[in-house]
């Protein structure tokens, strides 16, 4: 036993050591504190021209009517408050020349905007802000969701039924909102953070199908992740320090892209919903 006159000092040392041990240690970061982060706003959209190329099929709306055109102008005005320095769109980099030519003609008053959100939102906002171009960042990859559904029907009918019912509910919700609500209301709904994450649920469920039996669900989901990783890499490629990037892209891409932006040490997410809701 320690002498009584030593015990208080020893106790203080032990207490201090325990306190140091309990303090959280920060994980090292790749962040470069000498460079300001790139601000990235991901605007998840429904496809204005409604190509019905996705597994879920929507009725769609005509965005060229006077009412819808006014709603689009309202959205563009709200997004302009973010003052993006670059606008990235869902077109492959191989389309750069044709996209640049169309945008130049639009700025010269010689190009009528199609229904595509690249034109309706991207071109309008870029021209209003005086930007020289819009940046195509998409990467196309096929996604065989139908093969996953077929596997589920044969091997896990309850999951197949759940996925089909979910898609039906999403289609019914979005068809109603597109028909009855403004374009701003639709985009606000789609870009609320809770709804962004919920949109990823079917991919997480899909990934579990076929575990130990070819992993068909995981393989298809991995292709979806790969496509979004490549899109993210393209966004990073066109970014410079202090940029404010607006990425206009189908809402289904938003969960993965958002996660990548939030975990990249040189980027910071900006909530589209905050600008759409003002």
pLDDT digits (tens, 9 = 90+) for 137-165: 999 988 788 888 898 999 999 999 998 89
pLDDT of residue 21: 60
What would the mean pLDDT of 241-246 be, rounded to a whole number? 96
Distance CA 120, CA 125 (A): 8
Tell whether 228 is covered by a domain: yes
Coil vs helix vs strand at 229:
helix
Structural domain count of the chain: 1
pLDDT of residue 105: 98
Express as a percent the part of the chain with pLDDT over 90: 73
Range of the domain at 119: 33-278
Distance CA 2, CA 123 (A): 79
Residue 2 has pLDDT above 60, yes or no: no
Distance CA 36, CA 261 (A): 14
Tell whether 24 is covered by a domain: no
Tell whether 25 is covered by a domain: no
Q: 91-127: per-residue pLDDT in tens?
A: 999 999 999 999 999 999 999 999 999 999 999 999 9
Tell whether 19 is covered by a domain: no
CB under 8 Å to 2, separation ≥6 — which residues? Answer: 10
E-assigned strand segments in the chain: 38-45, 86-89, 135-136, 244-250, 267-270
Tell whether 226 is covered by a domain: yes
């Amino acid at each position: 036993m320690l002498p009584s006159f030593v015990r208080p000092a020893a106790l203080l040392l032990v207490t201090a050591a325990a306190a140091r041990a309990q303090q959280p240690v920060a994980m090292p970061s790749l962040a470069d504190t000498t460079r300001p982060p790139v601000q990235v706003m991901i605007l998840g959209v429904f496809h204005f021209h409604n190509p019905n190329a996705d597994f879920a099929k929507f009725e769609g709306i005509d965005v060229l009517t006077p009412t819808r055109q006014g709603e689009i102008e309202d959205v563009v005005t709200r997004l302009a408050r973010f003052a993006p320095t670059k606008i990235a769109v869902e077109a492959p980099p191989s389309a750069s020349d044709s996209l640049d030519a169309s945008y130049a003609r639009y700025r010269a008053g010689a190009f009528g905007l199609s229904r595509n959100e690249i034109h309706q939102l991207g071109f309008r906002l870029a021209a209003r802000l005086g930007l020289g171009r819009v940046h195509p960042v998409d990467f196309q990859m096929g996604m065989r969701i139908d093969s996953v559904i077929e596997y589920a029907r044969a091997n896990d009918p309850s999951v197949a039924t759940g996925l089909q019912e979910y898609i039906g509910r999403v289609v019914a919700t979005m068809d109603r909102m597109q028909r009855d609500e403004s374009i701003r209301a639709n985009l606000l709904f789609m870009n609320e953070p809770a709804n962004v994450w919920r949109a990823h649920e079917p991919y997480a469920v899909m990934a579990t199908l076929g575990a130990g039996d070819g992993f068909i669900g995981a393989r298809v989901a991995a292709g979806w992740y790969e496509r979004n990783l490549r899109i993210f890499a393209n966004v990073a490629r066109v970014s410079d320090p202090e940029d404010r990037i607006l990425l206009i892209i189908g809402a289904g891409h938003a969960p993965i892209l958002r996660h990548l932006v939030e975990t990249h040490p040189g980027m910071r997410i900006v909530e589209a919903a905050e600008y759409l809701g003002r």
